[in-house]
Amino acid sequence: MVSRANRVLTVAVTWFVIVGGCYFFTLARPENVETWEQLPTLPERATSIELNSFGYVHAYTEGGSSYTIYLYSWKDEQWASYDPDKEGVYGEPCDVPGGSQFTPPAPPGEAISRSSADCFASAENQFHAEAVLLETNEVWVWTHLYGGVGDAITNLLVLAAGALGVVLLLIGGVMKLFEK
C-alpha cells in the first residue's frame, strides 16, 4: 500500500512537471506558439520589404513602385500604392528601445528580404513583428504579443503555482519523516 506521504510527494512532483511545462511552452519559448501568416498578394514583383517603426510594411518593386499595408489591420486591407517622397507616415513610432528577445521559427520559404521591429501596441502590451519577402513574391509576418498586465498576471500565476508545489513538497517531506 502506498503511504500518504508518497502520494503527496507524487502529486508535488507531477505539479512541478505541469507548471514547468506550462512555463516553458508559454512564457520561456513563445516562438513555439505563434506561426507565420501570409499578407495579401502584392500587385507587382517586389525586391525588398521594410517594416517601419509606425507599423507599416513597405514593399519596393523592380519597376520602382512602392506599396504599403498597415500591420495592425492587414486582414481587412490590400496593398496600396505609396510614394515615400509625397506621403508622410501618420501616428506615433512603435519602436521600443533594446534588442529583441524573440527568435521566430524559420519562414515558410526562402527569404530574399527581411525586416523586424519591436513595437508598442497599447498601454498594456507590446509586440515583436517580423516580415519576410519570399522568392515566390509572398510576404509573411510573424508577431508575438508580450508585456503589460497579461504577462504580469501570468508570471504571478506561475510563481503562485511554483510556491504551491514547494508547499506540497514540504508537506510530503515532513509526512515522510514522521511515518511509522
Domain boundaries, the chain: 4-28+151-177, 34-146
Q: What does the mean pLDDT of the chain come to?
A: 80
Banded pLDDT at 28 (limits 50, 70, 90): low
Q: Which three cell numbers stand for residue 167?
A: 508547499
Residue with cell 502520494: 7
pLDDT at 82: 83
Instruction: From residue 136, give the alpha-carbon distance in Å to each of 44, 58, 140, 148.
Output: 12, 17, 11, 37
Confidence of residue 67 (pLDDT cuts 50, 70, 90): very high
Sheet hosting strand 66-70, strand order edge to edge: 46-51, 56-61, 66-70, 80-81
List of E strands, 86-154: 111-120, 126-134, 139-146
pLDDT given for residue 100 in this prediction: 61
Question: Could you identify the residue written with the cell 513563445?
Answer: 30
> Cα-flanking dihedrals φ and ψ of residue 16, to 5°?
-65, -40
CA dihedral 21, 27, 28, 33 (to 10 degrees): 80
Across the range 57-85, mean pLDDT stands at: 86
Rounded Cα distance between 83 and 86, Å, is 5
Q: What angle do CA 102, 113, 132 make, to 5 degrees?
A: 50
Q: How far apart, in whole angstroms, are the C-alpha atoms of residue 74 and residue 155?
A: 31
Element (H, E) at 9: helix 4-22
Q: Cα separation of 47 and 28, whole Å?
A: 35
The whole-model pTM stands at 0.64
